[in-house]
Amino acid sequence: MFPPTIYIISNFKNGTIYVGVTSNLPKRIYEHKNNIINGFSSKYGCKCLVYYEIHTNIEDAILREKQIKSRSRKYKLNLIETMNPDWVDLY
């Protein structure tokens, strides 16, 4: 069992970003990397895990995902740069 996690994936540094929530981060990133699920991330080639936050329960994780999604792009880029200034793939 994996903890609920908020994650941000990107197609390249300062490129398109996608914010998501999952209860199984390794599986979900694998799905993004292999275009298993069609949608925004597959359309824009977002496959690089650049940020994540672990939460204790799914309800808090979902609230945090909504909070991040509602914030500006600059805020999201700041989150990424604080944890991962070189935008390396954390997967």
Residue range 16-32: average pLDDT? 97
Q: What is the pTM of this model?
A: 0.96
For 12-22, give one letter per residue: b (16+ CB within 10 A) or e.
Answer: eeeeebbbbbb
Q: Distance between CA atoms of 63 and 58, rounded to whole angstroms?
A: 9
- Residue pLDDT, tens place only, 45-72: 999 999 999 999 999 999 999 999 999 9
Q: Distance between CA atoms of 55 and 10, rounded to whole angstroms?
A: 21
- The pLDDT value given to residue 37: 86
Q: Which two tokens stand for residue 88?
A: 């390396």
